[in-house]
Amino acid sequence: MNQHHNSSSPHRALVIGASMAGLFATALLRKAGWSVDLFERSDVELFGRGAGIVTHRELLDALTESGANIEQLGVAINERIAVDKNDQVVERLDFPQIVTSWDRLHQLMRATIPSEHHHLGCNLQSVEQSASGVTARFSNGRVEKADLLIAADGYRSIIRDIYMPDVQPIYAGYVIWRGVADEGAMPKSARDTIFDKFAFFLPPNNEVIGYPIPGQDHALERGRRRYNWVWYRPVDKKTLETMLVDENGAYHSLSIAPPKVRQDLIDEIKRAAEEQLPPSFRDTLRAIPRPFFTPIYDHFSPKMVFGRVALIGDAASVGRPHIGMGVAKAAADAQKLADVLRDPTVRIEQALAQFENDRLDIGLKAVERGRTLGGYLLMSHDNNTTHDAHWILKNTASSDFLKTQ
């Protein structure tokens, strides 16, 4: 068991959850002079499961500050386009951006953390606090003590459940179907129309988007990359409940793991794509063997700090993915936390109060922004309405609204 902080040793933090928020918090707090250990419930490293991630300036800043090498970060794109049902481009927006994969980011950030401080197979069960610090207990019997505990345990956070049990994910009324296609498996016509771009197809109440990401082994060469394909579709809550049942009749609460999505649902989305999507997006889906769906939720915790426990990333708040800000917000939360905790002469409680003061409002803005952009999926359209593709392209691109005051 580790000892509490004393004046001759650095402060110690426990970080729970080794996905994006946890990796950034560990790397940045170590740089700020803390002793940090990161605990993940998964028994195996998390790579191999993620799809596309859009980068923003906030994310690039946090990567650089963490010491990650961002030279080969992802695929550089220059513009956003919207196509109509016949693949004619109906809107364009110049917007240079790097798009990448969750796996690539995980690889870069994981490399910043020494293995002796990265602990797999550690499922946090309870947290206790005293005047001098926190004690974390794990289901494998491990007990750890520290000056601070950082909850980076995602949108179903058990740590948030301890302190804010009323804050629960709220279903948005739609799901995303998604998958990745190998560049080489896409027909040339689809590649020519959408591959090097952030592309949209925007029929009423639906949003189909796609962008290129690195391929296997993070390959960036032409021909070896992949295309991240996403279809937002409204699904009422009752229907969602039936979709969360797997082939064996087992019900999965909130979300279902990709391999467990039923074949009849996959067949149905493929049929719908044949009728409803333009050739580029339709043919890209044909190249994806097993698309899967994720219900969209958001939530906002009105508090991020509970004594010596701080919530960051999705544990604190989740904005719907239209703004592509989940990872950037997690990284910026971690960055702010490390900033306020850098000076060892400042009391931890005082530093945490400043962190909460700075980041709560940003989380709320992300949630509100996601709701505004997602509103399009559930609004009533008459058949003659053409909605403003320019507005959607522009507003899903910018992260300016997240700037700290």
Ligand X SMILES: Cc1cc2nc3c(=O)[nH]c(=O)nc-3n(C[C@H](O)[C@H](O)[C@H](O)COP(=O)(O)OP(=O)(O)OC[C@H]3O[C@@H](n4cnc5c(N)ncnc54)[C@H](O)[C@@H]3O)c2cc1C
The residue (of 147 and 153) whose beta carbon lies closer to ligand X is 153
The residue (of 22 and 370) whose beta carbon lies closer to ligand X is 22
What is the b/e burial string over 263-286, where b = at least 16 CB atoms within 10 angstroms of the residue's CB?
A: eebbeebeebbeebbbebbbbbbb
Type of residue at 280: S
The residue (of 214 and 278) whose beta carbon lies closer to ligand X is 214
The residue (of 139 and 385) whose beta carbon lies closer to ligand X is 139
The residue (of 53 and 87) whose beta carbon lies closer to ligand X is 53
- Identify the CA nearest to 36 among candidates 150, 161, 132, 202: 150
Phi-psi region of 33 (alpha: psi -120 to 50; beta: other; left: phi over 0): left
Residue pair 79/95 in contact by the 8 Å Cβ criterion: yes
Type of residue at 42: S
In the chain, how many H helices and how many E strands?
A: 11, 18
191, HSE (Cβ side, Cα atoms, 13 Å): 14
CB of 403 to ligand X, least distance (A): 19
CB of 116 to ligand X, least distance (A): 18
The residue (of 42 and 276) whose beta carbon lies closer to ligand X is 42
Q: What does the alpha-carbon distance between residue 168 and residue 301 come to, in Å, rounded to a whole number?
A: 9
The residue (of 91 and 285) whose beta carbon lies closer to ligand X is 285
CB of 106 to ligand X, least distance (A): 8
Backbone angles phi, psi at 376, to 5 degrees: -55, -30
CB of 154 to ligand X, least distance (A): 3
CB of 321 to ligand X, least distance (A): 6
Type of residue at 248: N
CB of 259 to ligand X, least distance (A): 13
Q: Which residues bind ligand X (CB under 6 A)?
A: 16-22, 39-42, 46, 49-53, 102, 122-124, 152-154, 158, 313-315, 321, 326-327, 330
Q: Which two tokens stand for residue 8?
A: 């001759």
Q: What does the alpha-carbon distance between residue 135 and residue 145 come to, in Å, rounded to a whole number?
A: 4
Provide the edge-to-edge strand list for the sheet that holds 133-138: 124-130, 133-138, 143-146
Under DSSP, is residue 366 helix (H, G, I), strand (E, B) or coil? helix
> How is residue 345 annotated by DSSP?
T
Q: What does the alpha-carbon distance between residue 242 and residue 120 come to, in Å, rounded to a whole number?
A: 33
CB of 89 to ligand X, least distance (A): 26
CB of 358 to ligand X, least distance (A): 17
- Torsion angle, alpha carbons of 142, 143, 147, 149, to 10: 60
The residue (of 213 and 278) whose beta carbon lies closer to ligand X is 213
